[in-house]
Structure formats: structure tokens, C-alpha cells
Amino acid sequence: MLTSLQNEHVKHVVALQKHKARKEYGEFLIEGWRFVEEAIRREAEIHQIYVCPEKTKKFWPSLWEVLSERKIPILEVDDKVLRKMSETEEPQGILAIVGSKNLSWGDLDIDSQTMLLIVDGIQDPGNLGTILRTALAAGIDQVCLTTGTVDLYNPKVLRSTMGTVFALKVLTDCLPEQVVEFAESKGLNILTADIDGEPLYETGFSLPLALVVGNEGNGPSKIFRSSELTQVTLPMSNEVESLNVAIATGIILYEIARRKGLLQT
């Protein structure tokens, strides 16, 4: 059992709480039984499991069998070490190091029915996590995050995805100009959510499609507001000026999915 706070395992886990280390090592942390189970179910690349026996009596036996079958390294830690490793006030007793995906434009699957989500400069971790979870629920599993968007592997982002991050193809650090160039080269119609756009329910659009949603305060980047691209907005009643970006994105995604038959039950 690991009991020393000075152990290299502890130092590595604590380092991964920072963006710089996550990028350097190509790894990130997940915590909690549900999250680890989802990572296993979605066949994520789990590098290491840390478990505190004091907190795991209810869930551990069945999970141990699966982890052992997949030959995933497991290390027991005491409660003091677990609390040092964890970012939550009351750790559930398990956390894992997972390998991050390093995807490129060539990893995206583009065909006549493609719906690609572009997240442009979203700053709030909860908003990004909710957008990703909603996108997958609406049948969209390919996403591009532009430069300036909050880190995909930020712990708050990950918690907000509720594990759906493992089922998505997510490109990160994409320049807006690259997005437009890629979309045009693949025949993707770009649809930008913007406050000055046309009402969503009166706007026509066709697949394949790239939907752009922008920063909470400033909206999408200038290049996505080009007169050559289609902008849409949600109609508002009762003098409401705007909606939370995650909520607005969800409404637009589901409207597109409904019209284009992307929803699966």
C-alpha cells in the first residue's frame, strides 16, 4: 500500500492536476466509480488505477475482476494519500490516469451525413462539458475545439461530460482559419450560432454541416461571422437578451438532429 506523500506516484498525479503537465505527459486524471466504470466501458486507455480499500468495499470486487482481465496496473493507497491526489473534498476512493487522444484532421470521418461541432473559445469548464455531453446525446460525436477554448481535460470539464468524453472524437487547439479551410475542402456547410443571425426555425441548412458556437461574452471569431457563411440565432421572448451558451447549443443541436434524422433511440 502506498502511504508516503513523497512517492513519485503521488507527485505525478498531483502534477497532472495542471494543464502543462497533462499536455507534457499526454495523460489526464479521472475520479470516482462511475467515471472509471465509464472509462472501462468505453475502452479508454487507462494507464494506472489508484484505489483506497477503506472506501471501496461496495464496488471493488466486480471492478477488480474487469481491471485484472485487462491487465491495468492497480495500486492501493491510504486515505491520506488519496486526499493528496484528489481534487475533490470527499474522494470516492478511486482515481485513474488515462492517456489523452492526440487526433488530427485526418482522424475525422466526413461523409454526406456528417454533423461536426466547432466550439470556439468557450471559457467555462461546465459549459464545455455540458456541450460535449449534449452533442453526443444528439447524435454528434465529432468536435473541434479552437485555440483559446478551455482545456478538454480540465477536471471540471471532465466531470461535466459525465464520461461521454470517451465516446467523442475531439480535436483541440484548432485555429479558426484551419476550421474554415477544412470545412470548405470537405464540402461542409458552416452554420454559425450568433446573436445577429437569422432565426433558427426560419433558416434552411443541409448536411454535411459544421455548427460553430462561440465564446460566452464575445461570441464566435470574426472569420465565422463572414457574410459568406450562414448565421442563426434563437428567437427570444419577454425581452430576454441571451441564453447560456450550453443551453443554446443544446437547442440548436437538437433542432438540427430532428430535422436531419440524426437522433437514435
- pLDDT per position as a tens digit, 108-157: 999 999 999 999 999 999 999 999 999 999 999 999 999 999 999 999 99
| The pLDDT value given to residue 57 | 63
Whole-number mean pLDDT of the chain? 93
pLDDT band per the 50, 70, 90 thresholds, residue 59 = low
| The pLDDT value given to residue 90 | 84
Does residue 111 fall inside a structural domain? yes
Does residue 2 fall inside a structural domain? no
Q: How far apart are CA 235 and CA 199, in angstroms?
A: 6
The domain spanning residue 92 has which CATH number? 3.30.1330.30
Same domain, 56 and 181: no
Does residue 241 fall inside a structural domain? yes
Residue 22 in this model has a pLDDT that exceeds 80: yes
Contact 121, 215 (CB under 8 A): yes
| The pLDDT value given to residue 63 | 80
- Last residue of some domain: 54, 78, 99? 99
Same domain, 24 and 62: yes
Residue 55 in this model has a pLDDT that exceeds 80: no
Residues spanned by the domain of 91: 8-99
Same domain, 114 and 161: yes
Does residue 265 fall inside a structural domain? no
Same domain, 75 and 175: no
- Mean pLDDT score, 78-86: 93
- Last residue of some domain: 38, 68, 99? 99
- Buried residues in 137-176 as b, exposed as e (16+ CB within 10 A): ebbbbbbbbbeebbbbbbbebbbbbebbbbbbebbbebeb
The model's pTM is 0.92
Does residue 237 fall inside a structural domain? yes
Does residue 1 fall inside a structural domain? no
| The pLDDT value given to residue 265 | 61
Same domain, 169 and 186: yes
β-bridge pairing 230-233 and 189-199 = parallel
The 10s digit of each residue's pLDDT in 119-128 is 999 999 999 9
| The pLDDT value given to residue 92 | 86
| The pLDDT value given to residue 242 | 82
> Which residues, 6+ apart, have CB-to-CB distance to 85 below 8 Å?
10, 13, 14, 50, 77, 91, 95
> Which residues, 6+ apart, have CB-to-CB distance to 160 below 8 Å?
125, 126, 128, 129, 130, 132, 133
> Residues of the chain with pLDDT > 70: what percent?
97
H-only helix segments in the chain = 8-15, 19-25, 33-41, 60-69, 79-85, 125-137, 155-161, 176-185, 245-260
- Mean pLDDT score, 101-109: 95
The domain spanning residue 144 has which CATH number? 3.40.1280.10
Same domain, 46 and 145: no
- Mean pLDDT score, 6-25: 96
* Number of domains observed in the structure of the chain: 2
- Mean pLDDT score, 86-97: 90
Same domain, 81 and 208: no
Residue 196 in this model has a pLDDT that exceeds 70: yes
Does residue 191 fall inside a structural domain? yes
Q: How far apart are CA 10 and CA 6, in angstroms?
A: 7
Residue 54 in this model has a pLDDT that exceeds 80: no
| The pLDDT value given to residue 231 | 96
Same domain, 70 and 194: no
Same domain, 188 and 114: yes
Same domain, 95 and 110: no
β-sheet bridge partners, residue 142: 169
Same domain, 95 and 109: no
- Last residue of some domain: 58, 82, 99? 99
Residue 143: its H or E element: strand 142-146
Contact 156, 176 (CB under 8 A): no
Same domain, 229 and 190: yes
